Amino acid sequence: MTTLFHSHRLGDLTLPNRVVMAPMTRVRAAAGGLATASMATYYAQRATAGLIVSEGVQPSLIGQSNPGTPGLHTDEQVASWRPVTAAVHTNGGRIFAQIMHGGRVSHPDTNGLRPVGPSAVPAVGDVFTPTGPRPAPVPRALETAEVPEHALSYAEAARRAVDAGFDGVELHGANGYLISQFLSTNANLRTDRYGGPVANRIRFAVEAVSATVEAVGKARTGIRLSPGATIWGVRESDVPELYAALLAELARLEVAYVHLEATAEERILLGLRRAWPGTLIVNPVPPMGPKQTGRADADHWLGLGADLISFGRAFVANPDLVERLRTGLPIAPVDEATYYQGGDAGYLTYPAYRHTV
């Protein structure tokens, strides 16, 4: 029986366990989207994970969603990431960069640019800005001729990620950001080759992944998806058909993994497991819900055929999460007030478990 603590081959990497640190926004980057020494310490502290997936990293200035997030579109940003990846590798870890284009989930106050999206339909809710939450603005609908350059931005960021020392990249195709917006039936109202039927709505995702595979190789390319999620107001009216078609294209490209969030009914996710022949990472608990992923959730999905299990919030307060899971030690609670406040408090201040005599 496969357990969390068996090794797994992922592309050219051998993961010592099946615990993945999920990507989590922490908004600790320096001005100019630069990675910092604190970020190096943060990721190095968690290097016992089989695989770390970084916070979302913008592939372009217009792709920036939140203030305080890092980028991979300038030489200075690449240089700033090298100490981070080196620290993880020195501690025996492996790290992929999550490439995240926010699309319509952004604001001019954050990056000075009007957000873009598949259609002129705003996200639902307030977006983060340097001066606090603001209503999501109406994005500018991309012209057909512009769409490929945004797909290529993922590949360009992937090249920079590899140059910065990352072991690979994960395209953020989930949670209502740009790839997810193109997959949607209410954020994407296009009538050109990128909108309408399923074959057209998956086109942007396939072009972004295909370009990334060409740039850095299939063994270094993964993608995260959230079937049926309604985050930031996106909706998909045909989840099984949509994701089966997308997975068929991803299988053709032989990407390293698909990372599914548990945002659809289990029967739908099991159908996608059967449709996907490669490595599957499952995040067993819906994002932003009241429950954190625990050992029982992980074992359940390993039993259903997942290869790797991603843990999000549990990794924030437990840098030694793998050992705690292995030995049944208590999982420390997280202080949600420090998620996005900046600084080292609630970032570098969570200790490993302290045994008492």
CA distance 238 to 228: 9
Cα distances (angstroms) measured from residue 60 to each of 66, 100, 157, 217, 325: 13, 9, 8, 21, 37
Nearest to 69 by CA among 10, 128, 117, 22: 128
CA distance 32 to 68: 9
Tell me which H or E stretch contains 189: none
Q: Cα–Cα–Cα angle for 288, 8, 21, nearest 5°?
A: 25
Nearest to 86 by CA among 95, 74, 97: 95
- Helix, coil or strand: residue 169: strand
Torsion angle of C-alpha atoms 308, 313, 316, 320, degrees rounded to 10:
-40
The Cβ-side half-sphere exposure at 330, using a 13 Å CA radius, reads 7
The DSSP symbol for 162 reads H
Q: Which residue out of 177, 194, 347, 350 is catalytically annotated?
A: 177
**Does the annotation mark 194 as catalytic?**
no
Nearest to 103 by CA among 122, 125, 126: 122
Supply the residues annotated as catalytic: 177
